[in-house]
Amino acid sequence: QVQLVDTGGGLVQAGGSLRLSCAASGRTFGNYAMGWFRQAPGKGRDFVATISRSGEITYYADSVKGRFTISRDGAKNTVYLQMNSLKPEDTAVYYCALRYGSAQSMRDMRVDFWGQGTQVTVSS
């Protein structure tokens, strides 16, 4: 079993920045990808970004490319999402995710464990 604790959400004005963090504990060995999804009110959960175990492979949703950066600290089993140039349409609950397997599989919406979610609100 894996536990994911995601933190760092908050209220920010448009154009501002936030950094989300997600610490993984438990059965964190082997090849696994980590990443982020988000869910806006009344909408489904959407893929945002993912990163491979090595950190060498990353994927981003088109809507966040060039603004968001995903990274990970392998020693701490922690993944980060640096969000810059935030827009009101980025407002959502952001969920950390872990997938036993490739980053590509997470990009294809395959997830084994979820964090509890952290609210990001961007005001105009």
φ/ψ region of 66 (left if φ > 0, alpha if ψ in -120 to 50, else beta) reads left
Integer Cα distance of 43 and 11 in angstroms: 20
* pLDDT at 78 (0 to 100): 94
- Name 42's Cβ contacts closer than 8 Å, sequence gap at least 6: none
- The amino acid sitting at 57 is I
Residue type, 36: W
Q: How far apart are the first and last CA of the chain?
A: 40
Rounded CA-CA distance 105/29 in Å is 17
Q: What is the pLDDT of residue 42?
A: 94
Place of tokens 């610490």: 23
Confidence tier at 28 by pLDDT (50, 70, 90): confident
In tens, the pLDDT along 51-96 reads: 999 999 999 999 999 999 999 998 889 999 999 999 999 999 999 9
H/E stretch holding 104 reads: helix 103-107
Give the chain's length: 124
